[in-house]
Structure 1
Amino acid sequence: MTEEQTAPDVADGADNCKKTARRRWPLVTALVVLFALFTAGGAAAGATIGYADSLSGRLLPGTTIAGLDVGGQTGDEALETVQDALSDQLSRRIVVRWQGQRWQTKARKLGAHTNARDIIAEVAASQQGLTWQDWARLRWLGDRADTSAVVDVDYRRRAVRRFIASIADELDLEPTDATMSVDGREISIGPSAVGYQVRRRNAVDALLDSLRGDGGAVSLRVRTLQPEVLEEAFAQVLLLDQSDHRLTLFLDGVRASQWIVATGTGDYPTPPGQYHVELKRYMPTWVNPAPDGWGKDMPDSIPPGPKNPLGVRALNWNAPAIRFHGTQAIDSLGTDASHGCVRMSNKDVIELYDLVDVGAVIVSQS
């Protein structure tokens, strides 16, 4: 090869190398970019995995329970947060009132409790199984779980029943009937009194409703029990003292009138005991009570008039054939003279008739 031929060939080779280098630059650049992207992607993936690992066993960001942000907390930490927030409600004072009386207790003594542990467990379970893409969005795009759960506070019905029962044991009271007692020729009347009975089931329901609602003081529900016998039952009392043949009328426990009477004989005694006026008879007709006995020589009946053995008035007892009645035989007053009835002068029996009502109490003492 001549020198003239060699110089152009070398120049041509250099040009070819330059052309080849220019063709390879895009490929190299692409490889560098791909490497950079791969490196960055690996770093991002690693960061995402690290982020997911950091939240392992923890609630996701954006989780609120009972209105509290518990994102990033473990279940135990979230439970402590919720319990701290609800501690006042769980320890608050409970008041029950009735007629100026108050009974107090604490919510915890009524079994106050929450379902916070279960709610937190449910929320944690719902946040399991996230994909890599889910974690990436949380890590790089700022996504949040936006999970919200409510915690309920409730009470043990059995504990509320025990509390109400303790109040009822203090308040429950049987009603007291009015009473009457006789001491010689005097009577005394014991007053009646109402009783009380706590409506336990209604009280338990009302207290639970209040606890689960606004939690205000609860008015106890109490039934008033009325006595069967009131003082009015002894407003009129006739005390018959057979030993001295005196009949005394007490009005509202106070001696009001007194009369001399005749009572039954030994063969036909006036019965002792407590009775009441069963019937008032104006100008009564006498009906023979013993047509086969002591009345066998008497007519079956005698109409009102001067010959009537009952006089002008009669007040029947709730005892067979026994009554207060008038008589013409006033000389028998103050003695045992009748067949069991109580004789009075017609004047006195009219006065008695006008003073007492059906139902007046009769106490007969032999």
Structure 2
Amino acid sequence: MRAKWGVALAALALMGSSAVAQAEPGRYGGGFIEFLMTGEGRGPARRPAVDGYGALGEPRPVAVAQPRAWFAALPTGPATGQGSEEGMIARAVDPRFARQVVAYDGPGRAGQIVIDTNAKYLYLIQPAGQAIRYGIGVGRPGFVWTGAKTISAKREWPDWTPPAEMLRRRPDLPRHMEGGPENPLGARAMYLGTSLYRIHGTNEPHTIGQNVSSGCIRMMNEDVIDLYERTPVGTRVEVI
């Protein structure tokens, strides 16, 4: 046993900060030590997500519908611009939801936004039959909605005040949270009319492509920054 502990401690010393960085702070307990000793046991637990801004526990696989027939991908170069905040942005893994230019023959006109909640895509319509397509997360069952709104306000790194309905479901939530990388609204928010709905970023990019929110449209932070810079207040948003 002394030899096994010696090997484990030596390995930990060699791994240094890189090993610790992979474990969540405050969770270097039995599971972490068991992993070092035997290669078995569970790793550090993931922080639970906020209800309405991410399902509790590990994300469940969700079937992703194909986009409607009037969308077809076009070959493109690299995704559109990257801002100076790139170091604060976590990127999603699933390439289906990467930002790209696509052929478009659907409703609306250039400059407007169309959100396909079934396929989990947001389209910013461009001239000449094209659109910029972004992957999104949408409302959970019972929270999906359709209709037309306009962008009534825009905020960078917005504060978050959970609405009363959400606090009734989750009284443990904070009453207010300052904007920043840990805020569930992410890097940008675009408010839709006088409703409680927003198009906003997220601190949980793995939820893009899923039904996870309380009706808001969530995007990867890098994508919501890109959309924010392209869409003024007054832009029409159609949710279908």
Sort the TM-score into its range (normalised by shorter chain).
0.5 to 0.7
The offset of 1:184, in angstroms, is 4.8
Higher helix residue share: 1
Instruction: Report matched runs for 1:199-214 at 5 Å.
Output: none
Q: Structure 1 length as normaliser, TM-score?
A: 0.36
The offset of 1:319, in angstroms, is 4.7
Higher strand residue share: 1
The offset of 1:256, in angstroms, is 3.2
Q: Distance in 1 between matches of 2:203 and 2:233?
A: 25
Question: Aligned pair 1:352/2:217, yes or no?
Answer: no
Aligned partner of 2:149 in structure 1 is: 275
The offset of 1:267, in angstroms, is 2.7
The offset of 1:183, in angstroms, is 8.5
* Residue in structure 1 matching 2:106, options 172, 177, 187: 187
Aligned partner of 2:124 in structure 1 is: 249
Q: Structure 1 residue runs of 4+, over 2 Å off?
A: 182-189, 251-256
The offset of 1:294, in angstroms, is 2.5
Q: Distance in 1 between matches of 2:131 and 2:181?
A: 30
Contact 1:248 1:255 in 2 (8 A): no
Contact 2:167 2:173 in 1 (8 A): no
* Residue in structure 1 matching 2:137, options 244, 262, 270: 262
Instruction: Give the gaps of 5 or more residues in structure 1.
Output: 1-181, 190-233
Cα–Cα, structure 1 residues 253 and 282, in superposed 2: closer, same or farther, change >3 Å?
A: farther
Aligned partner of 1:239 in structure 2 is: 114
Contact 1:288 1:295 in 2 (8 A): no
Q: Distance in 2 between matches of 1:343 and 1:361?
A: 17
Q: Distance in 1 between matches of 2:129 and 2:230?
A: 14
The offset of 1:278, in angstroms, is 1.1
Deviations 1:54-81 (A, max 9, x none): xxxxxxxxxxxxxxxxxxxxxxxxxxxx
Higher RCO structure (Cα 8 Å, ≥6 apart): 2
Contact 1:188 1:253 in 2 (8 A): no
Cα–Cα, structure 1 residues 342 and 288, in superposed 2: closer, same or farther, change >3 Å?
A: same
Aligned partner of 2:200 in structure 1 is: 325
Q: Distance in 2 between matches of 1:284 and 1:331?
A: 21
Instruction: Report matched runs for 1:68-147 at 5 Å.
Output: none
SS at 1:340 equivalent: coil
Cα–Cα, structure 1 residues 188 and 336, in superposed 2: closer, same or farther, change >3 Å?
A: closer
Q: Distance in 2 between matches of 1:253 and 1:364?
A: 22
The offset of 1:328, in angstroms, is 1.6
Q: Distance in 1 between matches of 2:206 and 2:163?
A: 23
Contact 1:279 1:358 in 2 (8 A): yes
Q: Structure 2 length as normaliser, TM-score?
A: 0.53
Q: Distance in 2 between matches of 1:188 and 1:331?
A: 29
Q: Which has the larger radius of gyration?
A: 1
Instruction: Report matched runs for 1:30-49 at 5 Å.
Output: none
* Residue in structure 1 matching 2:158, options 265, 274, 284: 284
User: Considering only aligned residues, what root-mean-square deviation do their CA atoms show, in Å?
Assistant: 2.1
Instruction: Give the gaps of 5 or more residues in structure 2.
Output: 1-67, 72-104
Q: Distance in 1 between matches of 2:155 and 2:222?
A: 15
Whichever residue aligns with residue 300 of structure 1, its letter is R
Cα–Cα, structure 1 residues 242 and 188, in superposed 2: closer, same or farther, change >3 Å?
A: closer
Aligned partner of 2:236 in structure 1 is: 361
- Percent identical pairs in the alignment equals 29
Count of residues paired in the alignment: 139
Cα–Cα, structure 1 residues 276 and 265, in superposed 2: closer, same or farther, change >3 Å?
A: same
Aligned partner of 1:312 in structure 2 is: 187
Aligned partner of 1:197 in structure 2 is: none
The offset of 1:357, in angstroms, is 0.7
Cα–Cα, structure 1 residues 297 and 267, in superposed 2: closer, same or farther, change >3 Å?
A: farther
Contact 1:236 1:356 in 2 (8 A): yes
Q: Distance in 2 between matches of 1:188 and 1:335?
A: 24
Whichever residue aligns with residue 250 of structure 1, its letter is I
Contact 2:158 2:180 in 1 (8 A): no
Contact 1:238 1:363 in 2 (8 A): yes
